[in-house]
């Protein structure tokens, strides 16, 4: 490029940049009636030969929508979608760069089979045959480990294949590691999973109370909605209840630094205060709630208790005792109780991994619902409890499709006869095909895979799709690395890049990703989002769903009975308009029809069972996502639901009921107010390991960094993991910023740089390490102890020691 051209380009870019900032400075993005989208949505830039289409962002559970610009078969531009209610055109730094995720230099492009210790390229035919042969030989020793990043049709196909085809329930997703506690919390409180409310709450709350949730970094676009309100002059109080100062704390009115695990005591203390002050909502509670205690021994179902019993239980959590447990001052605890006691304010509680990745995760979810129900802070926009998810389709593909070891689509369970019958009917299976025994949950699945083959219940073949357990499982030495020393184990990994998991894989399958395939996600607020394939995958990479169907058909060819429906047809038979079967298992024919649409429409019949009705595919294709239940109105249009269980917004609430929890555990349309006690965590700091170790994410990287670390801008912005340490602790140990330090727990050790008072800061005795860096695997150190009900491990607290490394 000549000097003149360079200058003119720079000037052009500068003026474009200034125009962007000026437009943003002038706008209040989330304000009502501000910056309306012109009819027809002509907000897209006009670029020669670039076509645009919509898609949800590939990364987090917020579910922002992007517009993707394609030129000559390549993604060339990405912009926030101004027609999308979730983000109104905004994106975070990951979203800006999402298009680049397709173009990392080391994309996997051909199947690779390990032969004599070396990975060698093989054909797809050979790869499919190898998998089918392994499964055919020992179907009960086979498992699938899936993902909250699977699209809905992918997860549905995998679920049908293993549960309906192989009569085997060993399928579980990585979402077990991030939101399983929210599931058990919702089910045990309301009788049905998923939030009753939606992101609109952010636009209406007076107080936003964050429970162990670094909202500013983890759900940055949602956080912008709050910041935007403040910039418009609205008063919104932000209370950050946290174990360390984060970017979220910087914006908070009150930062309450609590001891790990003490959230249980704090929630009970709030309940106690409400009752003591007679500030609980008697009318709401008497009209719409029952009380429940944990039972002996504690269980997910618990046992009914009276109000007086509940009152006696929570009365143990006085301000004084809770202050001792939590480290919060009496004034801080009083402040929390004041907010719940004040019915004139709308209080929104938000949580994500801090509450869910917790050995008492279900209990903590129960308690958050309890304080909202007890105080009556429930049901108005801006006034309620809401969990957030980390993955783009943890809700859609895992919770709704039921890709968990105990579940079936639509909220049905394998251990429930009626649920099995419905699934067998919908899948046209012979009666009794579905196994009533729940399969292995994630931690157990990997324990069984990392056990010698002759051990009772051992798994020998495990197929991983769209996730990276070699980096994200807790206690990696025990749950993953052991595989390397065992004979007879076969690990299949479908992925887009080499990862810590492919390191130990015996067979690697190159996958298509994001807009290289059709897809449907379901985000944190019950919003189902559809997109179309826009570009081709590189090399021989192919859709995960095709891989599953091709293996199923190979088994069908091997005469595996499970791959036939009750009429003897292939489990995934699809026909064209003339009635001829389409050979979907042949890649050349996979896109002869829109298989996503076919699978989705088949799945949709399950969604009505628990009032989670989804819109028809063509309706979804036109929308920027719709929040279920989506029902058809008399005029033929389709209406989404913002608030479930609330009269006037939820079509399933009967007239004059006000609130109706129609899947109530107690069968009387009431929700449960749970008492769950404070329990000491399984591992606490001691003399040998005197620090708390907490792990998590950072703004720039998504989960294990396999995608974002390949985007140069994000990699450069946050190139390496680090250990965050308190300044006084560092000085006592002679550690300076950037020093190499050794972090040791009972499960392993890791050397990494120290960061003192960096982006965030820890209180004394507390360390934090992000888990995105594949070269510094902090999960070699974490604990696999998990919630007894949700089976979700606690990545947020274990005991550690730190030492300066002397070179």
Q: Decide if 399 contacts 136 (C-beta within 8 A).
A: no
Site string for other proteins, 680-719 (x = CB under 8 A): ------------------------------x-xx--xx--
Distance CA 31, CA 88 (A): 10
Cα dihedral angle (438, 296, 446, 107), rounded to 10 degrees? Answer: 90
Within residues 47-86, the interface with other proteins by CB under 8 A covers: 47-48, 50, 69, 71, 74-82
**Which of other proteins, ligand SF4, none has residue 102 at its interface (CB below 5 to 8 Å by kind)?**
other proteins
Phi, psi of 298 (to 5 degrees): -60, 140
Residue 795 lies near ligand SF4 (rule: CB under 6 A): no
Residue 593 lies near other proteins (rule: CB under 8 A): no
Distance CA 256, CA 726 (A): 17
- Give the nearer residue to ligand SF4 in terms of CB position, either 64 or 781: 64
Residue 720 lies near other proteins (rule: CB under 8 A): no
Active site annotation includes 390: yes
Q: Whose structure tokens read 């040791």?
A: 744
**Which of ligand SF4, other proteins, none has residue 8 at its interface (CB below 5 to 8 Å by kind)?**
other proteins
Residue 538 lies near other proteins (rule: CB under 8 A): yes
**Which of other proteins, ligand SF4, none has residue 99 at its interface (CB below 5 to 8 Å by kind)?**
other proteins
Of 436, 399, 438, nearest to 143 (Cα)? 438
Which is the catalytic residue, given 178, 258, 718, 798? 178
Residue 419 lies near ligand SF4 (rule: CB under 6 A): no
Contact residues for 767 (Cβ-Cβ < 8 A; gap 6+): 691, 692, 693, 694, 723, 724, 725, 743, 800, 802
Q: Which two tokens stand for residue 526?
A: 């019950």
- Residue from 227, 298, 593, 785 touching other proteins (CB under 8 A): that is 227
Phi, psi of 483 (to 5 degrees): -55, -35
Distance CA 804, CA 730 (A): 9
Residue 391 lies near ligand SF4 (rule: CB under 6 A): no
How does strand 384-387 pair with strand 142-146? unpaired
- Residue from 97, 358, 527, 701 touching other proteins (CB under 8 A): that is 97
- Give the nearer residue to other proteins in terms of CB position, either 302 or 392: 392
- Give the nearer residue to other proteins in terms of CB position, either 1 or 656: 1
Count of residues touching ligand SF4 (by CB under 6 A)? 14
The residue sitting closest to ligand SF4, measured at its beta carbon, is 95
DSSP state of 171: E
Burial pattern 749-768, b for ≥16 Cβ within 10 A else e, equals ebebebbbeeebbbbeebbb
- Give the nearer residue to other proteins in terms of CB position, either 57 or 363: 57
Q: Decide if 158 contacts 548 (C-beta within 8 A).
A: yes
Distance CA 48, CA 488 (A): 55
Residue 121 lies near other proteins (rule: CB under 8 A): no
Q: Which two tokens stand for residue 128?
A: 């499919």
Which is the catalytic residue, given 94, 163, 517, 797? 94
Pick the stretch among 87-95, 132-140, 256-264, 315-323 that binds other proteins (CB under 8 A). Answer: 87-95
Q: Whose structure tokens read 């003192």?
A: 756
CB-based burial label for 601 (10 Å; 0-12, 13-18, 19+): middle
Residue 3 lies near other proteins (rule: CB under 8 A): no
Which is the catalytic residue, given 259, 391, 471, 660? 391
Q: Which two tokens stand for residue 671?
A: 């929700």
Q: Which H or E run includes 285?
A: helix 282-288
CB atoms within 10 A of CB 111: 25
Residue 108 lies near ligand SF4 (rule: CB under 6 A): no
- Residue from 195, 220, 681, 770 touching ligand SF4 (CB under 6 A): that is 220
Q: Decide if 211 contacts 241 (C-beta within 8 A).
A: yes
**Smallest separation (angstroms) from other proteins to the CB of 706:** 15
Which string of DSSP letters, residue by residue, matches 468-525?
A: -HHHHSSSHHHHTGGGGG-TT-EEEEEESS--TTGGG-SEEEEB--GGGS-EEEE-TT
Residue 492 lies near ligand SF4 (rule: CB under 6 A): no
Site string for ligand SF4, 51-80 (x = CB under 6 A): ------x-xx-xxx----------------
Pick the stretch among 5-13, 377-385, 415-423, 542-550 that binds other proteins (CB under 8 A). Answer: 5-13
Residue 92 lies near ligand SF4 (rule: CB under 6 A): yes
Contact residues for 339 (Cβ-Cβ < 8 A; gap 6+): 207, 209, 237, 239, 345, 347
**Smallest separation (angstroms) from other proteins to the CB of 91:** 5
**Which of other proteins, ligand SF4, none has residue 300 at its interface (CB below 5 to 8 Å by kind)?**
none
**Smallest separation (angstroms) from other proteins to the CB of 716:** 5
**Smallest separation (angstroms) from ligand SF4 to the CB of 531:** 13
Residue 20 lies near other proteins (rule: CB under 8 A): yes
**Smallest separation (angstroms) from ligand SF4 to the CB of 450:** 32
- Give the nearer residue to ligand SF4 in terms of CB position, either 387 or 664: 387
**Smallest separation (angstroms) from ligand SF4 to the CB of 95:** 2
Active site annotation includes 88: no
Residue 34 lies near other proteins (rule: CB under 8 A): no
Sheet strand arrangement including 626-627: 519-522, 527-531, 626-627
- Residue from 29, 69, 79, 95 touching ligand SF4 (CB under 6 A): that is 95
Which is the catalytic residue, given 390, 411, 519, 705? 390
Which is the catalytic residue, given 60, 64, 67, 179? 179
Pick the stretch among 89-97, 201-209, 397-405, 567-575 that binds other proteins (CB under 8 A). Answer: 89-97
Sheet strand arrangement including 112-115: 118-121, 112-115, 507-510, 490-495, 461-465, 142-146, 171-173
Distance CA 361, CA 345 (A): 27
Q: How far is CA 224 from CA 6, 199, 241, 287, 557, in A?
A: 35, 12, 19, 37, 54
- Residue from 34, 51, 103, 324 touching other proteins (CB under 8 A): that is 103
Pick the stretch among 9-17, 440-448, 566-574, 743-751 that binds other proteins (CB under 8 A). Answer: 9-17
Active site annotation includes 734: no
Residue 94 lies near ligand SF4 (rule: CB under 6 A): yes
Pick the stretch among 216-224, 283-291, 353-361, 645-653 that binds ligand SF4 (CB under 6 A). Answer: 216-224
Active site annotation includes 179: yes
For the chain, the first-to-last Cα distance in angstroms comes to: 47
- Give the nearer residue to ligand SF4 in terms of CB position, either 716 or 807: 716
Pick the stretch among 18-26, 55-63, 403-411, 443-451 that binds other proteins (CB under 8 A). Answer: 18-26
Of 679, 703, 702, 685, nearest to 797 (Cα)? 685
Q: Whose structure tokens read 């602790």?
A: 729
The number of CA neighbours under 13 Å toward the Cβ of 183 is 23
Residue 119 lies near other proteins (rule: CB under 8 A): no
Q: Is the dihedral of CA 95, 97, 99, 103 positive or negative?
A: negative
Within residues 145-204, the interface with ligand SF4 by CB under 6 A covers: none
Q: Which two tokens stand for residue 314?
A: 């929570």
Q: Active-site residues: which are they?
A: 94, 178-179, 353, 390-391
Q: Which residues bind ligand SF4 (CB under 6 A)?
A: 57, 59-60, 62-64, 87, 91-92, 94-95, 219-221
Q: Which residues bind other proteins (CB under 8 A)?
A: 1, 5, 8-10, 12-14, 16-27, 43-48, 50, 69, 71, 74-82, 87-91, 93, 96-97, 99-100, 102-105, 107, 224, 227, 231, 251, 538, 710, 712-713, 716-717
């Amino acid at each position: 490029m000549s000097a003149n051209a360079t200058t003119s380009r720079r000037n052009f870019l500068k003026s474009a940049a200034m125009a962007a900032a000026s437009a943003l400075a002038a706008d209040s993005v989330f304000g009502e009636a501000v910056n309306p989208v012109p009819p027809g949505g002509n907000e897209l830039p006009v670029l020669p030969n670039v076509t645009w289409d919509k898609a949800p962002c590939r990364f987090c559970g917020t579910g922002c929508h992007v517009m993707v610009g394609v030129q000559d078969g390549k993604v060339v531009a990405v912009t926030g979608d101004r027609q999308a209610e979730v983000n109104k055109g905004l994106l975070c730094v990951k979203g800006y760069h999402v298009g680049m995720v397709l173009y990392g230099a080391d994309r996997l492009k051909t199947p690779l089979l390990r032969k004599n210790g070396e990975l060698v390229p093989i054909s797809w035919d050979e790869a499919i045959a190898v998998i089918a042969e392994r499964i055919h030989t020992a179907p009960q020793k086979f498992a699938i480990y899936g993902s909250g990043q699977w699209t809905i049709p992918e997860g549905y196909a995998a679920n049908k294949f293993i549960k309906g085809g192989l009569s085997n329930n060993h399928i579980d997703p990585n979402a077990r590691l991030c939101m399983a506690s929210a599931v058990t919390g919702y089910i045990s409180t309301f009788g049905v999973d998923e939030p009753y409310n939606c992101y609109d709450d952010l636009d209406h709350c007076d107080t936003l109370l964050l429970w162990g949730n670094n909202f500013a970094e983890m759900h940055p676009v949602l956080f912008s909605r709050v910041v935007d309100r403040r910039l418009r002059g609205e008063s919104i109080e932000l209370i950050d209840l946290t174990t360390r100062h984060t970017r979220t704390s910087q914006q908070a009115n009150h930062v309450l630094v609590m001891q790990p695990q003490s959230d249980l005591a704090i929630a009970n203390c709030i309940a106690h205060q409400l009752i003591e002050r007679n500030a609980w909502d008697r009318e709401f509670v008497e009209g719409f709630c029952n009380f429940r205690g944990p039972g002996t021994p504690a269980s997910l179902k618990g046992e009914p208790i009276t109000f007086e019993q509940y009152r006696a239980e929570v009365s143990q959590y006085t301000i004084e005792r809770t202050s001792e447990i939590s480290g919060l001052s009496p004034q801080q605890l009083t402040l929390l109780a004041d907010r719940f006691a004040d019915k004139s304010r709308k209080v929104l509680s938000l949580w994500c991994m801090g509450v869910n990745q917790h050995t008492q995760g279900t209990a903590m979810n129960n308690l958050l619902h309890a304080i909202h129900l007890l105080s009556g802070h429930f049901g108005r926009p801006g006034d309620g409890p809401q969990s957030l998810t980390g993955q783009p389709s943890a809700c859609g593909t895992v919770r709704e499709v039921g890709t968990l070891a105990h579940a079936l689509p639509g909220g049905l369970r394998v251990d429930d006869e009626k649920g099995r019958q419905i699934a067998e009917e919908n899948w046209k299976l012979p009666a009794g095909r579905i196994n009533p025994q729940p399969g292995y949950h994630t931690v157990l699945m990997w324990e069984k895979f990392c056990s010698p083959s002759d051990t009772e219940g051992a798994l020998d073949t495990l197929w991983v799709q769209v996730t990276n357990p070699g980096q994200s499982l807790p206690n990696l030495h025990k749950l993953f690395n052991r595989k390397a020393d065992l004979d007879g184990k076969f690990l299949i990994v479908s992925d887009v890049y080499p990862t810590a998991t492919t390191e130990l894989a015996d067979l690697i399958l190159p996958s298509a990703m994001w807009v290289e395939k059709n897809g449907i996600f379901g985000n944190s607020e019950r919003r189902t989002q559809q997109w179309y394939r826009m570009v081709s995958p590189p090399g021989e990479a192919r859709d995960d769903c095709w891989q599953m169907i091709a293996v199923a058909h190979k088994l069908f060819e091997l005469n595996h009975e499970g791959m036939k429906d009750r009429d003897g047809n292939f489990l995934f038979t699809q026909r064209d308009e003339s009635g001829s079967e389409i050979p979907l298992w042949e890649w050349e024919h996979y896109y002869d029809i829109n298989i996503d649409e076919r699978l989705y429409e088949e799945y949709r019949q399950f969604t009505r069972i628990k009032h989670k009705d989804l819109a028809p595919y063509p309706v979804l294709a036109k929308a920027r996502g719709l929040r279920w239940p989506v029902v058809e109105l008399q005029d033929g249009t389709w209406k989404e639901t913002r608030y479930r269980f609330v009269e006037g917004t939820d079509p399933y609430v009967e007239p004059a009921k006000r609130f109706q929890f129609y899947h109530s555990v107690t069968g009387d349309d009431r929700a449960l107010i749970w008492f769950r006690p404070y329990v000491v965590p399984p591992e606490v700091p001691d003399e040998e390991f005197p620090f708390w170790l907490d792990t998590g994410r950072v703004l720039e990287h998504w989960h294990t960094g396999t995608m974002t670390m390949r985007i140069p801008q994000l990699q450069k912005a946050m190139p390496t993991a680090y250990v965050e340490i308190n300044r006084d602790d560092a000085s006592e140990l002679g550690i300076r910023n950037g020093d190499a330090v050794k972090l040791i727990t009972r499960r392993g050790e890791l050397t990494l740089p120290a960061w003192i008072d960096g982006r965030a800061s820890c209180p004394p005795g507390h360390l934090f390490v992000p888990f995105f860096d594949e070269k510094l695997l902090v999960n070699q150190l974490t604990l696999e102890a998990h919630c007894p009900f949700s089976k979700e491990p606690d990545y947020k607290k274990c005991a550690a020691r730190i030492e300066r490394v002397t070179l």
